Chain A
Amino acid sequence: MTAAAVYLEQDAELMLRVRAGDNLSFAQLLERHRRPVIHFLYRMVQNQAVSEELAQEVFLRVYKARATYEPTAKFTTWLFRIASHLAINWLRDRKMERLQDSLDSPPEGQTIQLPDKAMTKEQEMLHSARMAEVRAAIQGLPPKQRAAVLMHKYQEMGYSQIAKVFQCSESAVKSLLFRAYETLRARLAHMG
């Protein structure tokens, strides 16, 4: 059995213990998945306050659903299904409310990786410009394509797991990623 498989089984085991009323196991699950979920949501919505609020909602839903939890799928599949659902809905609602928003405007409530202190002013500006370009390219993707790329690139999920998150076919996920990466190649390939 691989280390990843053991890790995943531990998640299911912990969740079953949460179901039995063990709150320490919930704290362990939170410790393991807090960062990936917040990173995913922040990259989805580009807003610190909103991403933390949505992450809290994700874990609150996990806790509330503990009584009915069955380890039929990977815990992370379930976790990211809740997270992507919340993020896509938030983006859809926000699009309806604020159609006039510019994609290139800096993200709200930004607390992100700071450039290396050894960087010169010029390097710092270049780094910021690159980040802004990457952010704009990702934000230009439709929400579902964006979620698929983020799970594929940063959570290292395969087509099969992303398909389970979206509850669709693997070929639909391949098509989503194909279109998303095609857009990103057109916007970002010159930066490499």
Chain B
Amino acid sequence: MACEKQTDLMISYAAGKLAEPERIALERHLGECETCRRVADAQKRVWAVLDAYPVLAPGDDFDRRLYARIAEDEQRAWWRQALDRYFSPFAIRSGVPVAAACLSICAAFVLRLPSPPALQSGGGHPVAVEHRINVDQVERALDDLDMLKQLTAAPVDKEDARAPESQS
């Protein structure tokens, strides 16, 4: 590992961009520090090797295609450009998470809405609730009928009992 403060200096040194006083100071240091000297040599070799990195000549019709694109772009109506901006594949792709978030919020809102009374009181079984209430009502009604029967039964018996007496 080279001395940390010297490393960026060595990058500039290998690139030949170091000012004279800094270069002299660094070379003095390299004379004394074996580790830094190795790093500086390696950096110089890398710098030279990178010259072999290939480049590409622009295609002959580069300018023609560019001006055609510019002309096409300028001819587009403003609304067409706005449509392209908001409905381009990139915009759609980046809009998917937003749409998903909106859907989740809507779903959460709907699920948290208060339930209708029938559902709330019946715990999801409204038919069973109605049935239980009817049974109670029927039982009470039957009881009431029994009481009415008992009340009405006595006069009938008296009349029945009196009838033979009157007949007799």
Question: A residues bordering B, Cβ < 8 Å?
Answer: 27, 30, 34-35, 38-39, 42-43, 48, 51-52, 55-56, 59-60, 63-64, 111-113, 127, 130-131, 134-135, 138, 152-154, 158-159, 174, 177-178, 181, 184-185, 188-189, 191-192
In the complex, B159 has a CB within 8 A of chain A: no
Known: A158-B17, A178-B7. A113 touches B70 (CB 8 A): no
Question: B residues bordering A, Cβ < 8 Å?
Answer: 7-8, 11, 15, 17, 39, 41-50, 52-59, 62-63, 65-66, 69-70, 73
Q: Are B46 and A189 in touch, CB under 8 angstroms?
A: yes
Q: Are A51 and B69 in touch, CB under 8 angstroms?
A: no
Known: A60-B70, A60-B73, A153-B50. A192 touches B45 (CB 8 A): yes
Interchain CB contact (< 8 A) of A51 among B41, B48, B53, B56: B56
Interchain CB contact (< 8 A) of A191 among B49, B54, B66: B49
Interchain CB contact (< 8 A) of A52 among B8, B11, B54, B59: B59
- Interface of chain A: mostly helix, strand, loop or mixed: helix
Q: Are B66 and A48 in touch, CB under 8 angstroms?
A: no
28 contacts between A and B (CB under 8 A): A27-B63, A34-B62, A39-B55, A42-B54, A43-B53, A55-B58, A56-B62, A56-B66, A56-B69, A59-B66, A60-B66, A60-B69, A63-B70, A113-B55, A127-B52, A131-B53, A134-B53, A153-B47, A154-B53, A159-B8, A177-B8, A185-B42, A188-B49, A191-B49, A192-B42, A192-B44, A192-B48, A192-B49
Q: Are A48 and B8 in touch, CB under 8 angstroms?
A: no
Known: A30-B66, A52-B62, A59-B66. A181 touches B55 (CB 8 A): no
For A38, the chain B residues whose CB sits under 8 A away are: 56, 58, 62
Interchain CB contact (< 8 A) of A56 among B17, B47, B49, B65: B65
Interchain CB contact (< 8 A) of A113 among B47, B54, B63: B54
For A48, the chain B residues whose CB sits under 8 A away are: 56, 59
For B50, the chain A residues whose CB sits under 8 A away are: 134, 153, 184, 188
- Beta-carbon nearest neighbor of A170 in chain B: B8
A42-B54, A159-B8, A188-B45 known, 4 other contacts, Cβ within 8 Å: A52-B59, A55-B58, A113-B55, A174-B8
Known: A178-B8, A185-B39. A52 touches B49 (CB 8 A): no
Q: Are B63 and A30 in touch, CB under 8 angstroms?
A: yes
For B47, the chain A residues whose CB sits under 8 A away are: 153
For B54, the chain A residues whose CB sits under 8 A away are: 42-43, 112-113, 131, 135
Q: Are A112 and B49 in touch, CB under 8 angstroms?
A: no
- Beta-carbon nearest neighbor of A36 in chain B: B55
For A56, the chain B residues whose CB sits under 8 A away are: 62, 65-66, 69
